Structure 1
């Protein structure tokens, strides 16, 4: 019987030593538990007896279950890390995932809002209804902060008043892996946040509430609620795009890179530990430049006319 106690010990290690988020721990538990169930069904007695044929069978089983290549890659990553940890106890066996690679995924370019659409969104007039106008002042601060500082949804939802330094134009966020970074807050975002703070006391129900963004019950505005408010505001102004937090983060990164061409600075602002995660925006920038070239360069226009 597979020793599932090792999985619990591994998760405890990730939580206490690697400071992994609850979301990450849940994903690891799900992926490795699924492997354990598969191995038990194949009469594999221990973790060390897991070999390449079972690995290939498990992957085939995952595909049959409808998992995408990306999800299977995530599973493989979890198993590799688990077996690296098992190696400390000489229980990893041949470590069958070493050297095993799935077909490479084509990485689609991230979607972004162009500058004009972003201006349309952020400069939209307030609703006429008093209650909706009040909520718009909060939502506008959220939108401005997303676009100003490139925050992830979880980072923005967890902000507290003490994280904000309006006089210095800075905000401190807790990112992936519980890594802290200090980010600049632009002028328009500071103005919108100051406006929100002037009406925030109307939302407070408990004096001890320190979350930056509150719902109408006076508690923290949840991640799901933020997503829904973005959709609501996009629909209200007639934006013909689905609006979601990461679209604003992508737009922040793309627009900043187009203007600065400083990849390292954008990496730091986004909180990417690996610059390869940031480099996708260089491809997006190149795509934009190529379009401008085809539209503007005389020889490019001539070639295009000849082929049409």
Structure 2
């Protein structure tokens, strides 16, 4: 099932200028070849703002802004942003802020608005949390837990874990792989990254062995020839989606006593191990599909803290007396 269902997003907004403008914006986004995930996040933010302005809990229900986005002012966005912080989180509010910036920029560019209503709306400040890396012993513990059963889901889930661990790829990059994206001869996958940036990523011998086991098990499944996605659900004519993988990792991690396990912890681990081995930042950016040097700094923060703690223990500062 596709991530983006515009009719579903616009449910309850039919017949309003919000719905008309959002449909037109989606057409522009598709024409610019924006990835489906980006389009979904952009359109979701716009529909959430529309619903908030129309809801009874908003003081602007019944106002012009509730039916027409071109009537939105700074105060409307600020109230929505405050509500997002209170009901969700500052990081979620920040994501909505960035998406709405693009929506109103498009409206101004189309000549539908004279001024951008978010020009003086500050971005929400968020806490900079250090995301813990997924240590080797933790990954081993998770794999051993998965191996307790020898069924199809166990083989599939170990293959998924090893690919994330071995490549540092994003949740969606591994989750959206097609059968045609994997090349067992070169031990590599064709990854469809953010911003329509494709790249080829190699994986090691251990990962290749488990992937081969999965492909053999997959070939025996009913409907295997009818599903183009690499990852199949355990039952039915259904592909396993990135969100399904996210839930699986969370469940498996909890069962193994590892707390919150998610794919990005292996991405942080990859950056950590790369720098520890003396790899340069430019090559890391190519491997992980980054175009901005801000990303290596962000992903390197928790890894740098980990390395500093290791060095501190080796130096024995404060233990010489």
Same fold (TM over 0.5): yes
Contact 2:246 2:263 in 1 (8 A): yes
2: distance between equivalents of 1:242 and 1:296? 29
2:91 equivalent in structure 1: 70
1:33 equivalent in structure 2: 50
Distance 1:207 1:74, change over 3 A: closer
Q: Between 86-95 and 145-154, report the one with greater CA deviation.
A: 86-95
Structure 2, unpaired ranges of 5+: 1-14
2: distance between equivalents of 1:49 and 1:33? 11
Distance 1:52 1:101, change over 3 A: same
1:24 equivalent in structure 2: 41
Q: What is the SS of the residue equivalent to 2:213?
A: helix
Contact 2:175 2:242 in 1 (8 A): yes
Contact 2:41 2:99 in 1 (8 A): no
1:13 equivalent in structure 2: 28
* Residue 124 of structure 1, CA deviation: 6.0
2:108 equivalent in structure 1: 87
1: distance between equivalents of 2:122 and 2:146? 52
2:203 equivalent in structure 1: 185
Residue in structure 2 matching 1:148, options 157, 166, 174: 166
Q: What is the SS of the residue equivalent to 2:17?
A: coil
Distance 1:41 1:270, change over 3 A: farther
1: distance between equivalents of 2:152 and 2:110? 58
Q: TM-score, normalised by structure 2?
A: 0.78
Contact 1:155 1:174 in 2 (8 A): yes
The list of structure 1 runs, each at least 4 consecutive aligned residues, that deviate by more than 6 angstroms after superposition, is none
Q: Between 32-41 and 115-124, report the one with greater CA deviation.
A: 32-41
1:3 aligns with 2:27: no
CA deviations over 1:242-267 (Å, ceiling 9, x no partner) = 32333333333333333244223332
1:221 aligns with 2:240: yes
Q: What is the SS of the residue equivalent to 2:185?
A: coil
CA deviations over 1:207-233 (Å, ceiling 9, x no partner) = 333332223335322334434443454
Contact 2:22 2:43 in 1 (8 A): no
* Residue 284 of structure 1, CA deviation: 1.8
1:157 aligns with 2:183: no
2:140 equivalent in structure 1: 119
Residue in structure 1 matching 2:276, options 258, 263, 268: 258
Q: Between 27-36 and 38-47, report the one with greater CA deviation.
A: 38-47
1:270 equivalent in structure 2: 288
Structure 1, unpaired ranges of 5+: none
* Residue 82 of structure 1, CA deviation: 1.6
Distance 1:8 1:167, change over 3 A: same
CA deviations over 1:138-177 (Å, ceiling 9, x no partner) = 2221111111112323222222221111111210122233
Contact 1:84 1:92 in 2 (8 A): no
Q: What is the SS of the residue equivalent to 2:223?
A: coil
* Residue 122 of structure 1, CA deviation: 3.7
Q: Between 279-288 and 162-171, report the one with greater CA deviation.
A: 279-288
Q: What is the SS of the residue equivalent to 2:217?
A: helix
RMSD: 3.1
2:190 equivalent in structure 1: 172
1: distance between equivalents of 2:247 and 2:173? 17
Aligned residue pairs total 298
Distance 1:107 1:188, change over 3 A: same
